[in-house]
Amino acid sequence: MAKAQQLKALLQSHMEGDEARFYAIAMQIAAHEAKVGHGALATELRALIDEAKRREKRTPAKGPVPIVQPRGELSSLLSASFPKVRLADMVLPQSVEDRLSRILKEQRQLAKLRTHALHPRRKLLLLGPPGTGKTMCASALAGELDLPLFVIRLDGIITKYLGETAAKLRLVFDAIAQTRGVYLFDEFDSIGTQRAFPNEVGEIRRVLNSFLQFIDQDDSDSLILAATNHPEILDYALYRRFDDVISFALPDHERIVDTLRAKLAAFRKEGIDWASLAREAEGLSYAEVTRACEGAVKDMIIHDLPALEQPLLSRAIQERKSIPSSTCTSA
Ligand SMILES: Nc1ncnc2c1ncn2[C@@H]1O[C@H](COP(=O)(O)OP(=O)(O)OP(=O)(O)O)[C@@H](O)[C@H]1O
Ligand SMILES: [Mg+2]
């Protein structure tokens, strides 16, 4: 018979949804049974494993249980979606990619970490200029973990519910505790700054204090992300509430090339000098490079051209460069 350790590991891998490990342990048990002379049982176990693998291939990947859209008051505070974006869709510096992979690893081993009274990293502060991938990163984490993404526009809450923002925040944190998901507090600086609402300093301070209290108390399995373009005006007390602070930046030469190549991968191209295009695009954000690519592709389609050519892309980049960058933010 299988050893108690093996049975425990089998159940644990099932609980954690770690299919590869589950099958590996099941195969180990079959091998063990064969070794101790239980040939028929071993054959039966192997057949069951093969059948389970076949079925898994036939059935579509398990998605998140589609939770209902936020209702009532919550619906005006949160917007929900189920992103399909993956980390591999993003072009990132290696250091950022490593940190995000680490977060995913910890999240995927959540149950295991919890049994050792450890907590996975899940409160993240995302900093960086517009169009560098903060919102996309929230989508990618949700997509990778098969979780819904809820976006909370803090500036909206503060202006719309002046005087009752703290009560609204409580509703949001109740949802965070009830429904596991990725919760993105966008435009997070609106509670860190006092400049935007010079007459409402008291209210902003109250909101900030409530936020600090809620995030401290939160012991849920949700990921809480806060994104801002203005790290310099964030209250210092906020920083230490987060398990990780991730900085996004404009793409360097190499990453512009990667972005151009990735965004144009599906199209026929002729005689493209990527390095020269990347030099022209220097200073643009990932979002702006993406828009330039989309512009060139649209031109190609509109003019019935058989492939993308250098001048078309070059023109699209120049056009993008002539637009003030603040106009090209989140998609
Ligand atoms: N690192 C990246 N890799 C690939 N594409 C990117 C990246 N960053 C941004 N993009 C593209 O630009 C679009 C807009 O980016 P995103 O909304 O994530 O920027 P942001 O940092 O949240 O900006 P903002 O501060 O204005 O909210 C994305 O949907 C994606 O198409
Ligand atoms: Mg954003």
Give residue 179's pLDDT. Answer: 92
Ligand 1, atom nearest to 90 Cα: 3
Give residue 152's pLDDT. Answer: 92
Give residue 197's pLDDT. Answer: 52
Give residue 144's pLDDT. Answer: 97
Give residue 187's pLDDT. Answer: 84
Give residue 316's pLDDT. Answer: 95
User: In the block, which residue shows the tokens 């049974």?
Assistant: 33
Q: Determine how many CB atoms are found less than 10 A away from the CB of residue 214.
A: 19
Joined together, the tokens standing for residue 299 give 């031109």
Joined together, the tokens standing for residue 122 give 């899940």
> Where are the strands (E) in the chain, listed by range?
78-81, 123-127, 149-153, 182-186, 223-228, 244-247, 269-270, 308-309
What DSSP designation does 254 have? H
Give residue 61's pLDDT. Answer: 46
Joined together, the tokens standing for residue 149 give 């993404």
Give residue 68's pLDDT. Answer: 47
CA of 179 to the centre of ligand 1 (A): 26
Joined together, the tokens standing for residue 145 give 């973990």
**277: three-class secondary structure by DSSP:** helix
Among 286, 297, 328, 329, which is best to mutate for testing ligand 1, by the most ligand atoms less than 8 A from CB?
Answer: 286
Which positions of the chain have pLDDT values less than 50? Answer: 60-66, 68, 194-196, 326-331
Joined together, the tokens standing for residue 211 give 């936020």
CA 155, distance to chain mean position in Å, is 21
Say which ligand is closest to the CA of 126. Answer: 1
Alpha-carbon span 292 to 319, nearest angstrom: 8
Q: What is the CATH number of domain 253-327?
A: 1.10.8.60
Output Rg (C-alpha) for the chain, integer angstroms: 24
Side-chain half-sphere CA neighbours of 308 within 13 A: 26
Give residue 2's pLDDT. Answer: 60
Nearest residue by C-alpha to atom 7 in ligand 1: 133
Say if 72-247 and 253-327 have the same CATH topology: no
Give residue 285's pLDDT. Answer: 97
Give residue 30's pLDDT. Answer: 86
Domain boundaries, the chain: 4-58, 72-247, 253-327
Say which ligand is closest to the CA of 136. Answer: 1
Class of CATH domain 72-247: alpha beta
Give residue 63's pLDDT. Answer: 43
